[in-house]
Structure 1
Amino acid sequence: MRAMRRSGKARGTRRSGARAAVALAAAGLLMVSGTCTSSAQDRGAAGPSGGSGGLSGTAACPGLEGFSCATLTVPLDHSGAVRGRLGLKVAMGDNANAPKGVLLFLTGGPGQPGVPFVERIAKAMEPVLKDYRLVMIDQRGTGGNALQCPELQAQMGSSDLTPPTAGAVRDCAAAIGTDRRFYSTGDTVADLELLRRALGVRKLTLDGVSYGTYTAERYALAHPGRVARLVLDSVVPQTGYDPMDLAAMRAAPRVLTEACESIGCTTDPAADLAEVVDTYDNGVDVLDAVTTWGFVDPDYAEMIDALHQAAEGDPGLLGGLIQGVRQGSAASAEELSQGLHASTLCLDGRYPWGRSDAPVAGRRAALEKAGAELTPADHGPFDAATATGLGSMLSCLDWPRTPAPPLPAAHRRLPGVPVLLLGGDRDLSTPVEWVYAQKKLTPWARVVVVAGVAHSVQSRAASDEGRRAVHDFLLGR
């Protein structure tokens, strides 16, 4: 999709092409193959410790040479207070005696499974797989165990910026029930420690992408002696995700201007962006569309054109791209579970009203107060209504009161192991500014920022620069 360039021809046709482009990009990001099917959640009578932490049913992964699939049984509640178990599907390279041990690759979301992506990740990691045993897991609440919230899923798809209705949020929480308190990142970290033990290895090398970086960071903070190396690609800092997405709002003018310069366009996309948001009062839609467009074309060519036309009074092309983003972001719960996404973000997050255990009645007032205190320096060309109206914020605004799990001290340093921080300078989903924020808390960090690349450098970048950096890092070069 990097061939898109500014043109004044056939606008109606280009709107249809843009919608198809987004749909293809979403499919490429979320495509679920037939590698393994996940078993349903087991809520049998056995106590939380009975049968937990072991791998069972190991067999060759259908259609995937060199990998075996198994089920990791974990307790629903790691504290042991609530009975029940979960069966999480795991795919493992058959080279169990790999000289550098296990490479655990963590996907994003929250809500994306891991096992369906084994073949794709194995191809990207092929140069290191003689030395490492690649392992991937469907984290709790994903894949075949996906938390099902049909209306919220239909409204948000694979986006965390699209605003949901309050009714869809409440219906989702009600469908999951009180078990929603067992889907924090801390619960997943505890699952990963059981996976390490089941694999029989002393340490893990973790490679996380997007939300997977946050999971890897949290694992390293909880189990510092169990980590050999960390690759953090498209970094979410260990301090947590900002539900107002202010870093992305501030980064958007830089990203669009750099993209414009790279393709030789003659407009001022930063000025156009500010004019569009001010004129049409559509900051949430625009931020969602611009952020997603990096997956389609990290040069943002057609988006830059659309913003310029809208700034000059013709919003037709921009409206078509926004509509295309919404259509192209459709995803099933098995591809990316919005129920799990909301459950995890609401438990992990810090919001203007506090955490998930704050009374619902006072949340909106706290949000409005926080929005009123924002300045243009905080949100750049966008506005306070954008910051307070994003999907990740509104999902948790209406999420029922739920006990909040403990979080690690926000500014604890990661353990002193080799860490590669990887990012693309065109990424608005996890802006490169977050790479440098995490670097301050990472003693042995190597930073690689790849020019002209957006989100998920290892699997989506046209350039091999980021992948080569990962391979060299993992092989100790």
Structure 2
Amino acid sequence: MTSTRGRVAALLGAVAVIAGTTLAAPSAGFAATAGTDRGGGGITGWAPCPDAPEFTCGTLTVPLDHSGAAPGTLDLAVAVTGNTNAPRGDLLFLTGGPGQPGVPTMRRIAGKLAPVLKDYRLVMFDQRGTGRGALQCPGLQEDMGSSDLAVPRRQSVADCAAALGPNARFYSSADTVADIDLLRRALGDRRLTLDGVSYGTFVAERYALAHPAHVARLVLDSVAPPQGLDPLDLAALPATARVLRAACRATGCTTDPAADLAATVRRYGNGAKILSALTGYEFIDPDFGGVPEILHEAAAGQPAKLRDFFDLVHREVDAAPAEELSQGLHSATLCADSRFPWGTTDTPVAGRAAALERTRQRLTAEQTWPYDPATATGLGSLLVCLDWPREQVPPAPPAHRRLPNVPVLLLGGDRDLATPYELIDQTAELAHDPEIVIVPGAAHSVQNRAANPAGRQAVYDFLLR
């Protein structure tokens, strides 16, 4: 990948795996820092985590409405490693979605970051509306599970919006950013090192923009740009051809999966369903094994294996309870944060469909190939918000505001369709001399999932430099 800014590290081979370090045990009598202002409290109830007693868990109480206009509080679970005197301070790891909790993944993330945990104390928390406080929308959960792009039933969207009611507006990324600053104060930190994956990169960037003096450095893995992801996914659509062809070369397939995908979409008009399934399947197999053959048969008029593929991904990847990824929170956040072809969620509902259709008519084949314009305007993450009730949305930071002048690592996989590496430049242009690492053969969430250890090694080197 060629970047407009920064140092690009082209990692074209295996590197040695760093030996893990032993995690420090929680300190006896671990105490929280005194409470915070604006309705936020300290962290209370410190005790060994129920499912991972080698870590310490507590509860951070935050206001439902950070402006103070609406009453109520939320209790957010927090977990930390036991090394309270870590020389480099606290490393806050931010999970994705939006909708994924942090605390249930503490043991797995600590294992991935073990080589740096003599120098940092790892902190994770359940962002508002996730985990034990997950927003519950059963119909939407059934339709979408852990998928960003699966197309939900309109009734499921309506039922979810009705269940959340006017409080849905308190689950934007701006609210989570405010929660993080209360967490920082409760931990007694002047600055945090932030490591975000997927949606977590967006939250980390937005925190850095809102509180630049309180950020030490940023690790951004599977990068979502601070301007927000394009609801039309016009980076992922053409990136599919690159990704499938690279996987095809790696596995020795003899077809052109991009051309077969284009023919399949023309024949069946199912581009949104294919993109959703491919984006889920990368978590199973970043080489997309079997996919070229499936698309080749579908392009020739034999779609049976493609239908089986859809069922497999929905069953094995997308199916997830709200406690693992809350689609209620996912929808409330995206609808509050994003800009759509019709504007924002503050736009009257009545005119949105017409604006979306005008956008479809303006899109070109070049923008969307190997899909079609109807794919771009038919993705579930966009359709959820098409009928979402009108609400006031928080202001976004200026589009070209620079990130603070701190070290930034931008990490991506060359098989990632959820956040293809083409998006990295949008963030790199706003950073000061960022380091960019693209890991061959890796899909989404490089630190957590990549078989190639090069991405994790880059993180260790960056954090300990």
TM-score between both structures, scaled by the size of structure 1: 0.89
2:247 pairs with 1:267: no
Alpha-carbon distance in 2 for matches of 1:114, 1:63: 13
Shift in CA distance, 66/98, structure 1 to aligned 2, threshold 3 Å: farther
2:97 pairs with 1:109: yes
How do residues 179-198 of structure 1 correspond to structure 2 at under 5 angstroms? 179-198=167-186
2:453 pairs with 1:459: no
TM-score between both structures, scaled by the size of structure 2: 0.91
User: 1:273 touches 1:311 (CA, 8 Å); kept in 2?
Assistant: yes
Cα shift at 1:63: 4.2
2:244 pairs with 1:256: yes
2:106 pairs with 1:118: yes
Residue in 2 aligned with 1:37? none
Residue identity opposite 2:456 in structure 1: R
Aligned residue among 397, 408, 417 for 1:419: 408
Aligned residue among 152, 157, 163 for 2:151: 163
User: 1:53 touches 1:197 (CA, 8 Å); kept in 2?
Assistant: no
Alpha-carbon distance in 2 for matches of 1:436, 1:255: 18
Cα shift at 1:66: 3.5
How do residues 199-218 of structure 1 correspond to structure 2 at under 5 angstroms? 199-218=187-206
Residue identity opposite 2:282 in structure 1: G
Residue in 1 aligned with 2:11? none
Alpha-carbon distance in 2 for matches of 1:344, 1:403: 13
TM-superposition CA deviations, 1:288-329 (whole Å, max 9, x none): 111111111111121111111111222111110011112221
Shift in CA distance, 63/396, structure 1 to aligned 2, threshold 3 Å: closer
User: 2:38 touches 2:66 (CA, 8 Å); kept in 1?
Assistant: no
Alpha-carbon distance in 1 for matches of 2:429, 2:238: 20
Residue in 1 aligned with 2:286? 298
Residue in 1 aligned with 2:5? none
Q: What secondary structure, in the 3-state scheme, does the structure 2 residue paired with 1:99 have? A: coil
Residue in 2 aligned with 1:377? 366
More divergent stretch after superposition (112-121 vs 289-298): 289-298
Q: What secondary structure, in the 3-state scheme, does the structure 2 residue paired with 1:295 have? A: coil
Alpha-carbon distance in 1 for matches of 2:129, 2:330: 9
- Please tell me the root mean square deviation across aligned C-alpha atoms, in Å: 1.2
Cα shift at 1:49: 6.2
TM-superposition CA deviations, 1:120-170 (whole Å, max 9, x none): 000000000000000000000000110111111111111111111221111
Aligned residue among 63, 67, 84 for 1:96: 84
User: 1:283 touches 1:382 (CA, 8 Å); kept in 2?
Assistant: yes
Residue identity opposite 2:338 in structure 1: G
User: 2:405 touches 2:431 (CA, 8 Å); kept in 1?
Assistant: yes
How do residues 31-430 of structure 1 correspond to structure 2 at under 5 angstroms? 52-328=40-316, 329-430=318-419
Residue identity opposite 1:402 in structure 2: E
Q: What secondary structure, in the 3-state scheme, does the structure 2 residue paired with 1:463 have? A: coil
User: 1:69 touches 1:90 (CA, 8 Å); kept in 2?
Assistant: yes
User: 1:58 touches 1:69 (CA, 8 Å); kept in 2?
Assistant: yes
Cα shift at 1:51: 5.6
TM-superposition CA deviations, 1:356-397 (whole Å, max 9, x none): 110000000000001110001211211111111110111000
TM-superposition CA deviations, 1:16-56 (whole Å, max 9, x none): xxxxxxxxxxxxxxxxxxxxxxxxxxxxxxxx967623101
User: 1:454 touches 1:461 (CA, 8 Å); kept in 2?
Assistant: yes
Cα shift at 1:65: 4.3
Alpha-carbon distance in 2 for matches of 1:49, 1:399: 33
Q: Which runs of 5+ in 1 are unaligned?
A: 1-47
Aligned residues: 429
Shift in CA distance, 50/213, structure 1 to aligned 2, threshold 3 Å: closer
Alpha-carbon distance in 2 for matches of 1:289, 1:398: 24
Cα shift at 1:439: 0.9
Alpha-carbon distance in 2 for matches of 1:317, 1:393: 27
Alpha-carbon distance in 1 for matches of 2:267, 2:163: 40
Q: What secondary structure, in the 3-state scheme, does the structure 2 residue paired with 1:212 have? A: helix
Identity of aligned residues (%): 62
Alpha-carbon distance in 2 for matches of 1:49, 1:417: 27
Aligned residue among 420, 424, 432 for 1:443: 432
User: 2:412 touches 2:421 (CA, 8 Å); kept in 1?
Assistant: yes
TM-superposition CA deviations, 1:212-258 (whole Å, max 9, x none): 00000000000001000100000001111111111110100011111
Alpha-carbon distance in 2 for matches of 1:450, 1:95: 31
Shift in CA distance, 103/277, structure 1 to aligned 2, threshold 3 Å: same
Residue in 1 aligned with 2:23? none
Shift in CA distance, 50/404, structure 1 to aligned 2, threshold 3 Å: closer
TM-superposition CA deviations, 1:191-222 (whole Å, max 9, x none): 00000000001100000000000000000000
Residue identity opposite 1:177 in structure 2: G
User: 1:49 touches 1:80 (CA, 8 Å); kept in 2?
Assistant: no
Cα shift at 1:64: 2.2
User: 1:152 touches 1:172 (CA, 8 Å); kept in 2?
Assistant: yes
Cα shift at 1:444: 2.7
Alpha-carbon distance in 2 for matches of 1:312, 1:296: 26
Alpha-carbon distance in 2 for matches of 1:291, 1:66: 34
Alpha-carbon distance in 1 for matches of 2:171, 2:39: 20
User: 1:183 touches 1:340 (CA, 8 Å); kept in 2?
Assistant: yes
User: 2:261 touches 2:299 (CA, 8 Å); kept in 1?
Assistant: yes
User: 1:49 touches 1:75 (CA, 8 Å); kept in 2?
Assistant: no
Alpha-carbon distance in 2 for matches of 1:421, 1:451: 15
User: 1:53 touches 1:195 (CA, 8 Å); kept in 2?
Assistant: no
Q: What secondary structure, in the 3-state scheme, does the structure 1 residue paired with 2:79 have? A: strand
Alpha-carbon distance in 2 for matches of 1:151, 1:62: 30
Alpha-carbon distance in 1 for matches of 2:397, 2:118: 35
Residue identity opposite 2:324 in structure 1: E
Q: What secondary structure, in the 3-state scheme, does the structure 2 residue paired with 1:117 have? A: helix
TM-superposition CA deviations, 1:391-437 (whole Å, max 9, x none): 01110001000111111111111111000000000000100101122
User: 2:264 touches 2:299 (CA, 8 Å); kept in 1?
Assistant: yes
Residue identity opposite 2:179 in structure 1: D
Cα shift at 1:265: 1.1
Alpha-carbon distance in 1 for matches of 2:143, 2:99: 15
User: 2:80 touches 2:122 (CA, 8 Å); kept in 1?
Assistant: yes
